Amino acid sequence: MVDRVAGIPVWISIVTLMGVVVIYTIIGGFQAVVWTDVFQAFFMFGGIFAILIKGTIEAGGLTKTWTIITEKGRVNLLNFDPDPTLRQSFWSLMIGGITSGLELQFSQATFQRIKATPTLSTTKRMFILASVLSLLISGLAVIEGGVMFAFYHSKSCDPLEAKQVLNENQLIAKMVRDIFHDTPCLPGLFLAAVFSASLSTMSSLLNCLSAIFWEDIVKRHTKPMSEKKAVLITQSSVLLFGGLAVCLAFGISGIEGPVSRILDITGACLSGTLIGLFLLGMFVPRANSLGALVGGLACFLFIGWISLGKLISSGVRVNVKLESASTERCPQLDTSLITNYTTTYNQTSTITMQDVTDLTLQTNQTLIFSEPQGLDILYSISYKWLLPLGIVLVFSVGSLASRLQAQTPVDPLYYVPVCDYLNDYICAPIRRIFGCDVKYSATDTTEDGTAVNELIEAAPTNGNTII
């Protein structure tokens, strides 16, 4: 993306970006990460609003932009088809979106920010603000995509169909060059927004990884050491994880397709395991270490297998694409950008726009009507269903596996007693499977000295839970 706007090669962007984030994460630690995140957020919102405002003006105004995206099917939120292989539907977007939001609540970065807040009320305000801003920036990104389509539709030149860009990830960069070519500073604001988003994400991840590496791996299995030596180890781990991130970035850069879809596919096995383990511990009192291990491995291996199949299998179902923008006013194509088409036809003569359009339509029709067979049916599950499927897998397999290990008393302070409120509505076999017949520890008390067991037994059955 950066190479399309500023002409900077991808490898230079990756190495430079990672070098900067590693340096200030090592020197400043958690405090530097939080403060830079705040300033970077202003650049991200500034870049998004600049593109939205200028793009809407160039597309013909707010009314025309909305008319274009609605008439061309870009606002298609009410598709209630339950087919799980559809790329997006109402059900996959709603359920997949809700489960994706849970990742924010259970991430290591969130827990570090919770620990940094002085009081419980401050923590609640932080959660509310983070949730609102997360929804806002996600919604703005969706609107940005609609404005981008309306802009190119009004110009009658779809850069993706015209092969002016190599993949979908370069579309927004192409739009920035087109709408800001005569406006100083604003292309730089876009670059600042892109780099800010990357720096913010990577600094948080590196800081979290170094903390986990120290607390769960080094500190737990080594003798007590000086604070200076501990800091040196955590700083070295940041450098190590930064190098690994560079290698991963080079690998992902070669994968075609939208970045968000790639991340949803590749991260579903890890995020599903994480969220599933938290929910398992919160809602299933019988859950134990064996259930967590088996359920987590089941999710990681199964969802990871499906994710790998979606990326490498050639028989995965390709859904019908929405109507693209016109290419009537596009300039003549450079034949160097369509080398793969010349190879297909084994010819060296110039390919016209009509030739490319015909070939694209034929290819799409072939992909649409060739139904997947065998394991490709499983690989064709929408990427939005991978995370919910992983969570259900951890929850169900973990609950069953936990029964193989002897039950131990449960601390009610770490358990949401759903079964206590639904006891009259759940049959005995189901209660036994999920461990609803929980054994509470008799010594657990609240701050005022009241036994927790007494509070739970006296709790109303109106669906409210004790927190």
List, for residues 342-367, the tens digit of each pLDDT value.
344 344 333 344 443 443 434 343 34
pLDDT at 3: 53
Q: Does the structure show a pLDDT above 80 at 151?
A: yes
Question: What are residue 440's phi and psi, to 5 degrees?
Answer: -85, 150
| Average confidence (pLDDT) over 144-169 | 84
Q: Last residue of some domain: 390, 407, 424?
A: 407
- ∠351-354-358 over CA atoms, to 5°? 100
Residue 195 sits in the same domain as residue 247: yes
Q: Which has the closest alpha carbon to 391: 276, 267, 271?
A: 276
Least confident of 216-230, 369-383, 434-448: 434-448
Q: From CA 393, how far away is CA 298, in angstroms rounded?
A: 7
Q: Kindly indicate the confidence band of residue 155, based on its pLDDT and cuts at 50, 70 and 90.
A: confident
- ∠325-256-180 over CA atoms, to 5°? 50
- The residue type at 241: F
Residue 273 sits in the same domain as residue 180: no
Q: From CA 300, how far away is CA 310, in angstroms rounded?
A: 15
In a domain, 329, yes or no: no
Residue 292 sits in the same domain as residue 179: no
| pLDDT, tens digit (0-9, with 9 covering 90-100), for 54-63 | 999 988 889 9
The DSSP code for 105 is: H
- ∠266-172-264 over CA atoms, to 5°? 15
With beta carbons less than 8 A apart as the criterion, state whether 435 and 284 touch.
yes
Residue 279 sits in the same domain as residue 397: yes
pTM for the model stands at 0.70
With beta carbons less than 8 A apart as the criterion, state whether 257 and 307 touch.
no
Residue 12 sits in the same domain as residue 119: yes
Query: Of 156-165, 191-200, 270-279, which one has max mean pLDDT?
Result: 270-279
Task: Choose between 234 and 443: higher pLDDT.
Answer: 234
| Average confidence (pLDDT) over 39-44 | 85
Beta bridge partners of 445: 451
Q: Which has the closest alpha carbon to 327: 155, 149, 69?
A: 155
In a domain, 446, yes or no: yes
* CB count in 10 Å sphere of residue 176: 26
Mean pLDDT of all residues in the chain? 76
| Average confidence (pLDDT) over 66-70 | 88
In a domain, 227, yes or no: yes
In a domain, 104, yes or no: yes
pLDDT at 261: 65
Q: Does the structure show a pLDDT above 70 at 154?
A: yes
Q: Buried b vs exposed e over 418-430: b needs ≥16 C-beta within 10 Å? A: bbbbeeeeeeeee
Residue 70 sits in the same domain as residue 132: yes
Q: Last residue of some domain: 407, 423, 448?
A: 407
pLDDT at 169: 75
In a domain, 337, yes or no: no
Residue 217 sits in the same domain as residue 199: yes
Tokens 């006296």 sit on residue: 458
Q: From CA 388, how far away is CA 393, in angstroms rounded?
A: 9
Residue 169 sits in the same domain as residue 196: yes
> For the purposes of burial, counting CB atoms within 10 Å of the CB of 343, is it exposed (0-12), middle (13-18) or buried (19 or more)?
exposed
In a domain, 346, yes or no: no
Task: Choose between 197 and 439: higher pLDDT.
Answer: 197
Q: From CA 113, how far away is CA 103, in angstroms rounded?
A: 15
The widest CA-to-CA distance across the chain, in whole angstroms, is 87
In a domain, 358, yes or no: no
Q: Last residue of some domain: 207, 235, 256?
A: 256
Give the CATH number for residue 78: 1.20.1730.10
* CB count in 10 Å sphere of residue 230: 15
Residue 224 sits in the same domain as residue 262: no
pLDDT at 100: 82
pLDDT at 451: 45
- 370-377, long-range: CB < 8 A, 24+ apart: 370/315, 371/317, 372/85, 372/315, 372/316, 372/317, 373/315, 374/315, 375/309, 375/313, 376/309, 376/313, 376/315, 376/316, 376/317, 377/85, 377/317
> For the purposes of burial, counting CB atoms within 10 Å of the CB of 329, is it exposed (0-12), middle (13-18) or buried (19 or more)?
exposed
CA-CA-CA-CA torsion for 116, 214, 411, 279, nearest 10 degrees? 80
Q: Two tokens at 156? A: 């009658």
Instruction: State how many domains the chain has.
Output: 3
pLDDT at 372: 72
Q: Which residues contact 249 (CB under 8 A, 6 or more apart)?
A: 14, 18
Residue 284 sits in the same domain as residue 212: no
pLDDT at 369: 45
Range of the domain at 193: 2-256
In a domain, 185, yes or no: yes
Question: Three-state DSSP class for 8?
Answer: coil
Q: Does the structure show a pLDDT above 60 at 145?
A: yes
In percent, the amount of the chain with pLDDT more than 70 equals 77
Residue 194 sits in the same domain as residue 268: no
pLDDT at 454: 44
Residue 246 sits in the same domain as residue 301: no
